[in-house]
């Protein structure tokens, strides 16, 4: 029903993904937005909003909150209350505000690298120190090192940033993994910030567990950050859901919003979020099938044509973690080859921190013809060696 094979020219649209590249022959498969049109219902709602012609200050209505509440109930079996829902123009700004309002200068924040690189700046730029709890990799799959986590929690650790599902390695954490992590954090008075922005993008065999849904204790010791942005390709619209059941934590966050004066969403964000959550589910279901088919295509191609690359099986997201270590190249050399010889832009693994060296992240949320072209260029790079 939906044409995910359509190739859409995004040049000259102020796209970060495409306009950052000077070379017109370069193919960008890096930043995490999709090459697909958002659902028709979203585009229709935005068009009607534009045709109204007046774009003054917007107020959030009850229908906005209800759209989020019903989506979380239907897709994730989590009952939330209207008063828990706070706003932010994005999850990354929210991470920065949360670090600022929940820590003091010199405190520590735990992360699990290789991990989404804006976590690093959110911690460092707000006066805190990073504590690495690296994921364990057995050559096929990543797991949490919870024994290491327990050893590294001391009195100065105030927060843990949990990436769930994990970007870039694609893990969808099991309830058992999350439960042990959460119990360690509660025992040591460490608040969990759960970045769950990819939680709607889960492959068929897996199921996302909202961290706060595990128990009442977990709910009162965490902040859940999600958004329609990754799900429906709305990153540029800038609307995120910062769900905080704990009243004390919520008050601190809301005060931080007031200090920065960025709590009010723009008119298009309100319109797009409501349309996406109310009418976008059928589009999402077809998207998930297409993404899994894209992953299968990538796996088959690399197995047959570029066996030097090891593909890490994602359980969710539309980002695939590729292991180039068998080539024996330094990160800068590998990245230069991919860009100069392949005319291809991926995310170099080292920017994701400890354990990322020798890897690259590729975005497969694109028409299959574009994916095939990207993989053909990658083959050219490896053949060049």
Domain that includes residue 212, residue range: 54-279
User: Is 0.95 surpassed by the pTM of this model?
Assistant: yes
Same domain, 133 and 253: yes
Answer with the residue of higher pLDDT: 147 or 261: 147
Q: Is residue 2 part of a domain?
A: no
Same domain, 271 and 328: no
Q: What is the CATH number of the domain that holds 372?
A: 3.90.1150.10
Q: Is residue 47 part of a domain?
A: no
pLDDT for position 385:
84
Same domain, 270 and 285: no
Question: Does residue 245 contact residue 220 with C-beta atoms inside 8 Å?
Answer: yes
pLDDT for position 131:
98
> Is pLDDT of 340 > 80?
yes
> Is pLDDT of 20 > 90?
no
Alpha helices, DSSP H, located in the chain: 16-19, 40-52, 62-76, 91-102, 118-124, 146-152, 175-187, 216-220, 229-232, 247-260, 267-279, 281-305, 331-340, 368-384
The count of domains in the chain is: 2
Same domain, 286 and 274: no
**pLDDT per position as a tens digit, 262-277:** 878 888 999 999 999 9
**pLDDT per position as a tens digit, 349-373:** 999 999 999 999 999 999 999 999 9
């Amino acid at each position: 029903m939906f044409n995910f094979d359509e190739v859409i020219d995004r040049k000259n649209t102020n796209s970060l993904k495409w306009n950052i590249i000077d070379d017109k022959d370069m193919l960008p498969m890096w930043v995490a937005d999709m090459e697909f049109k958002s659902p028709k219902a979203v585009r229709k709602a935005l068009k009607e909003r534009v045709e109204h012609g007046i774009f003054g200050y917007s107020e959030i209505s009850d229908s906005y909150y209800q759209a989020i509440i019903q989506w979380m109930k239907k897709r994730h079996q989590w009952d939330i209350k209207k008063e828990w829902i706070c706003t932010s123009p994005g999850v990354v700004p929210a991470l920065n505000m949360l670090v600022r309002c929940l820590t003091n200068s010199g405190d520590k924040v735990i992360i699990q690298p290789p991990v989404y690189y804006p976590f690093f700046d959110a911690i460092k730029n707000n006066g805190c120190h990073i504590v690495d709890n690296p994921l364990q990799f057995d050559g096929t799959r990543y797991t949490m090192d919870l024994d290491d986590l327990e050893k590294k929690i001391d009195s100065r650790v105030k927060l843990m940033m949990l990436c769930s599902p994990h970007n870039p390695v694609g893990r969808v954490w099991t309830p058992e993994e999350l439960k042990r992590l959460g119990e360690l954090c509660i025992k040591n008075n460490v608040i969990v910030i759960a970045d769950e922005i990819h939680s709607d993008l889960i492959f068929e065999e897996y199921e996302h567990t909202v961290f706060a849904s595990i128990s009442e204790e977990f709910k009162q010791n965490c902040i859940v950050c999600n958004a329609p942005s990754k799900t429906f390709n709305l990153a540029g619209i800038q609307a995120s859901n910062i769900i905080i059941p704990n009243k004390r934590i919520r008050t601190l966050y809301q005060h931080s919003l007031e200090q920065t004066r960025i709590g009010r969403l723009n008119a298009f964000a309100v319109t797009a979020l409501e349309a996406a959550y109310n009418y976008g589910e059928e589009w999402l279901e077809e998207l998930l099938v297409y993404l899994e088919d894209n992953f299968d295509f990538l796996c088959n191609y690399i197995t047959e044509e570029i066996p030097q690359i090891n593909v890490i099986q994602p359980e969710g997201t539309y980002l695939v973690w590729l292991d180039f270590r068998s080539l024996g190249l330094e990160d800068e050399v590998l990245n230069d080859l991919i860009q100069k010889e392949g005319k291809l832009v991926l995310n170099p693994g080292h920017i994701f921190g400890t354990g990322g060296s020798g890897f690259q992240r590729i975005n497969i949320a694109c028409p299959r013809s574009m994916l095939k072209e990207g993989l053909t260029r990658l083959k050219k790079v490896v053949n060049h060696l």
